[in-house]
Each structure stands twice: as C-alpha cells, then as structure tokens.
Amino acid sequence: MEEILRMSNISKQFGEVFANKNVNLDIRKGEVHTLLGENGAGKSTLMNILIGLYQPSGGEIYLRGKKVSIDSPRTAVKLGIGMVHQHFMLVEAMTVFDNIILGVTHDKSFFINRDKLKKEILELSEKYGLDIELDKEITEISVGAQQRVEILKALYRGAELLVLDEPTAALTDIEVQGLFQIIHKLKEENKSVIFISHKMREVLEVSDRVTILRAGEAVCTLNRDETTGTELANLMIGREMTPSIYEKKDGAEESVLELKDVDYHKNNKHNGLNHVSLCVKKGEIVGIAGVDGNGQSQLAQVATGVLAPEDGSVILKSKKVTKFSPKAFIDAKVANIPEDRNKMGLVGNMSVEENLVLKATEDDRFSKGKGFFLKKKAIHEYALKLQKKNDIRCSSVMQEARNLSGGNQQKIILARELDENPDLMVAVHPTRGLDIGATGYVHDCMIEARDAGCGILLISADFDEILKLSDRIIVMFEGQVMGEYSGKNPPIEEISLAMAGKE
Ligand SMILES: Nc1ncnc2c1ncn2[C@@H]1O[C@H](COP(=O)(O)OP(=O)(O)O)[C@@H](O)[C@H]1O
Ligand SMILES: [Mg+2]
C-alpha cells in the first residue's frame, strides 16, 4: 500500500517535558492506523502537530512523499488532513448545515446556493452512512450525531486522512459499532484513518496497524494480524518495576470506607458503577488503577458524598450512610483532593488565605455565630502557619490563588484537607500536571497521612503513581472491579491486562 503520510523524528517539548520525542509514524492509504498509549503518552500532541495546531520542536512531515510545513490548521485542511478532536469544536447555536459549510466558500458568488450545497452534503453523508439531519441545531442532536457531523465536516473539506482522537470515549456501545461501520466505509473509499484509543478491544477490532506510544516515544508499529491484546497491553504499559521508595503497609482491621454492591448508572460503561464493592482500611492507601473514564470519577463522587448510589450501600466508619451530601462527608472527616483543582478544589479569585479556611469558616476558631463574624486575625495567623508548614510559595497569603503555580495550588488544598487529620482521604489524580518536585511533595504528604492512620482512596490514571503509593491495588474497567492485588509485589502484567478489560 502506498504511503500517504510520514512523520519523521518528531519532537515536541513543553517546558521540561518531552510530549513527543523523535517519533516516527507512517500511514498508508486506505488503512486504519491506531495510536495506542496511556494517558499522557503524547498521542494528542502528535496529532495536534499534524494538523498544525502545534509546531514541532524538531522533525519533518512528508505527505505523499513531499516534505510539507503545516503552519496552521488551515494548511492542514488544504493538504487533505481532517481531525475530529476529543472535544468537539462545533458551534452549538448553529444548525448542522451551517456548521458544515462554516468557513468554506465553494461558490464565488456572495449568495450561496444553500439548496445546492445541502444536496451535495447529503449525498456525501449518505455515501458514508453518516445519517445526519442538516437542519437541526447542534444542541438538539446526540453526542454520537455531533461526532458524525465533525466527520462529515472534515470529509466535506476534502480530507483524505482523518484523525479521530479518542472517538469512542463519549459513545454508547451501539454508537461505537456505528462509528466502526463508518470507519469501514472510509477505508473502502481508500481514505486513511488515524484512530486513537487506549481500549484494547476496540483497537483489536478496528485497526490494520497499531503504533504504540509510551512516554512520548513511539515504541513500535505492529500489524494487527500479527499481534495480540496481551502483547499490545504489555507494550503500552511496558515498564520495568522500579521499587517504590515507600514502605508498603497492611491497613488496620478497621475499615474507614466500605462500598457494598454499589450501582450508579450501571449500564453506562464510562460514567457508571456496576456492583462495586471495595473497602479502605485505616492506615492504608488503596489505589484504583484503570484508564480514565471507567467509572473512577463516579467512584470518587460517591466516596465524597457528591453522588448517591442508586443501589447498594456505603459504610463510613462503621455507619451506613443515609444522607449523601458533601457537607455530611466533610463533617465525617472525609478529605478530598478533587479531580479538577481549579473547579472544585480552589476558588481562584479568592486569596490563598481564604482558600485555606474555606471549609472551616463556621468553625469557632475562625468565626463567631457560625460564619457571621469572621475572626480575621485568627484566620490570617492560621494561614501563615499553614503556608510556612507546607512551603506554599506565594508573594503573600492575600494573593489570589489562581495566580499560583499548579504545585502551589495543590499544596493549598493538601494543607487545608490534611490539617483536619481526616479519617478518609479521597485523592483523584493528585499530581496531574505537576512537576517532579511538587509531585514528590504530594506523595510524601499522602504517605505521612497514611502513617498517621488515615485511610486513602487514591484514584489515578498514572500507573506509576498507583504502583508507587498503593498498599493495595484495585483495577476498574467499565464501571466494574476487575481484580484486587497486593501493592507489595504487584503482578504488573496481570494488572495491565485487567486494566485493558481482560480477565
Ligand atoms: N499545551 C501543553 N502544555 C504543557 N504540557 C502539555 C501540553 N499538552 C500536552 N502536554 C503534556 O504532554 C504530555 C502528552 O500529552 P498528550 O499528548 O495530551 O497525551 P495523550 O493524548 O496521549 O493522553 C503530557 O505530559 C501532557 O501533560
Ligand atoms: Mg489525548
């Protein structure tokens, strides 16, 4: 098969981080080529370079054998490259039709012939079995349909090479099958598809070839027919076990959190919980390993009182929970390092100081009359103490929290959450986006809290982090618990297979 695209020695650096490092990738005409890799492996970055959103720090791109410089998404479109992003880029208040023709003027005339264009687009849509209603507004159609609009939009602009970045993440099973039929059709028409996923079953179903990315580097390219899910999973995770610097412990007998047969939207594989049972004991870290979007978010929300399960029970420190509310959980000494520190952990336009006492404003230490009169001096002194203890780097505790670096923001959250000596801590991606120094600090704090008797539920898509910190490891896949392993000498291969949905 003829080569359509070759990316040669592509590197991309963000500050210190190499998101891509000397990556080679070649794509043939009429093939479905999967980029397989864990979160953060560099898949989206490589594709953003291809479509001209990022400029590479090094390397070359060849299209149909000719060296090209893709300096903007517009250039990429001209070269016949289309991309459907993880987050769609449609204008919600416009119709499907207007979204598709947006920015394309086939007609030189001022008045476009809408009926003629509609007919053209419908024909294209039918050719690929896209099943699209042109006159609906984007807000009126399903996520799956929006994705088809994106595909149609790219095809209408003449895409010969189509990049689908994690297209199945937001789809139901039936919609995934529909998408695969479309991909099949694209192949028949001799288009090339770059498919991005970390879901093994899908990769095996849809790919002709697979290139595995790990930590920014392309590990290898394999023919689908000459490989297996096990091999791919191993290559994707593929790491030597580096011994953890932390001692692994057995928790106490006593559980701080227990979930029994918890269901929440259980048929939703990406955002649901299906009969989840697990426990976190006093003085242990239980790590939830799994690829993002397998119910971890919902698990965290149940464990912090944000979501009430539809079935099953939650037992917090030997008491069955009857009232699910964040406040009830905070009162029960549950600390939370939330998934999105800017949205849920901090109030950006409040000061460092205000953020540090955020949960305790009704506390007698800081106010009279349950938050009515704030004791400004007491708050200030407390904030200074925490700032010093946790080495929060800011010009003053009166500075707005949003101006701090990610690491220092996370330190504010940790300081606030841990100062109350919680019994349970739910930590979700606690080091995502942090540099090595801040990451180490967060890890040390968690271990210290564990050793002080706190039970910790750690949810992280970073497998290294799970291995490093967890005393016990639980794997989640499609809303279910796939297995439980000791954190002492964890069976990496078995765990990585479970993460990819294999029993
Ligand atoms: N705009 C950016 N600024 C800084 N770092 C980035 C940016 N985009 C990606 N990264 C980093 O590059 C790495 C690869 O990210 P990404 O390409 O999104 O991975 P993937 O799509 O495989 O999950 C990650 O460490 C990520 O944090
Ligand atoms: Mg990505």
Q: Which of 7, 34, 43, 45 to mutate to test the pocket of ligand 1 (most atoms within 8 A of CB)?
A: 45
Using a 6 Å CB cutoff, which residues line ligand 1?
Answer: 14, 17, 19, 37, 39-45, 433
Q: For the segment 234-255, what is each residue's pLDDT rounded down to a tens digit?
A: 888 775 555 678 999 998 999 9
Intervals of CATH 3.40.50.300 along the chain: 3-237, 255-333+421-499
Find the range with the poorest average confidence among 266-280, 293-307, 366-380, 465-479: 366-380
Position 109 scores a pLDDT of 59
Which atom of ligand 1 is nearest the CA belonging to 86?
21
pLDDT of residue 187 exceeding 80, the answer is: yes
Query: Using 50, 70 and 90 to split pLDDT, how confident is the model at 149?
Result: very high
446-474 mean pLDDT: 94
Q: For the segment 251-267, what is each residue's pLDDT rounded down to a tens digit?
A: 899 999 999 999 999 99
Position 434 scores a pLDDT of 80
Which two structure tokens, joined as six digits, stand for 113? Answer: 């012939």
Query: Using 50, 70 and 90 to split pLDDT, how confident is the model at 292?
Result: confident
273-283 mean pLDDT: 97
Nearest bound ligand to CA 14? 1
Position 22 scores a pLDDT of 97
Torsional class of 25: left (φ above 0), alpha (ψ -120 to 50), beta (otherwise): beta
Query: Using 50, 70 and 90 to split pLDDT, how confident is the model at 32?
Result: very high
Which atom of ligand 1 is nearest the CA belonging to 42?
17
Q: How far apart are the C-alpha atoms of 309 and 288, rounded to whole Å? A: 18
Q: How far apart are the C-alpha atoms of 450 and 133, rounded to whole Å? A: 55
Q: For the segment 51-83, what is each residue's pLDDT rounded down to a tens digit?
A: 999 999 999 999 999 999 999 999 999 999 999
Position 482 scores a pLDDT of 95
Distance 12 CA to ligand 1 centre (A): 10
CA nearest ligand 1 atom 3, residue: 14
Higher pLDDT, 231 or 134: 134
Position 458 scores a pLDDT of 98
CA nearest ligand 1 atom 8, residue: 45
Angle between helices 406-418 and 376-389 (to 10 degrees): 110
Superfamily of domain 255-333+421-499: P-loop containing nucleotide triphosphate hydrolases (3.40.50.300)
Nearest bound ligand to CA 461? 1
How much of the chain, in percent, has pLDDT values that exceed 90?
A: 68
Distance 41 CA to ligand 2 centre (A): 8
Q: For the segment 14-27, what is each residue's pLDDT rounded down to a tens digit?
A: 888 899 999 999 99
Q: How far apart are the C-alpha atoms of 137 and 139, rounded to whole Å? A: 5
Distance 38 CA to ligand 2 centre (A): 9
pLDDT of residue 112 exceeding 90, the answer is: no
Position 154 scores a pLDDT of 95
Position 342 scores a pLDDT of 77
Distance 21 CA to ligand 1 centre (A): 12
Q: Which of 12, 14, 85 to mutate to test the pocket of ligand 1 (most atoms within 8 A of CB)?
A: 14
Q: How many helical (H) and strand (E) elements, i.e. helices and strands, does the chain have? A: 16, 22
Cβ contact 485:495 at 8 Å: yes
Distance 43 CA to ligand 1 centre (A): 8
Q: What are the distances in angstroms from CA 349 to CA 232, 346, 398?
A: 45, 9, 11
Distance 298 CA to ligand 2 centre (A): 21
Task: Provide the mean pLDDT of the chain.
Answer: 91
Distance 35 CA to ligand 1 centre (A): 15
Which atom of ligand 1 is nearest the CA belonging to 54?
1
CA nearest ligand 1 atom 4, residue: 14
Nearest bound ligand to CA 85? 2
Which atom of ligand 1 is nearest the CA belonging to 43?
22
Superfamily of domain 3-237: P-loop containing nucleotide triphosphate hydrolases (3.40.50.300)
Q: How far apart are the C-alpha atoms of 297 and 340, rounded to whole Å? A: 11
187-216 mean pLDDT: 93
26-45 mean pLDDT: 93
- Torsion sign over Cα 182, 187, 190, 192: positive
Distance 250 CA to ligand 1 centre (A): 35
pLDDT of residue 283 exceeding 90, the answer is: yes
Cβ contact 277:464 at 8 Å: no
Nearest bound ligand to CA 36? 1
Q: Which of 17, 83, 432, 435 to mutate to test the pocket of ligand 1 (most atoms within 8 A of CB)?
A: 17
Distance 255 CA to ligand 2 centre (A): 37
Position 304 scores a pLDDT of 96
Could you tell me the pTM of the whole model? 0.63
For residue 391, count CB atoms less than 10 angstroms from its CB and return exposed for 0-12, middle for 13-18, buried for 19 or more: exposed
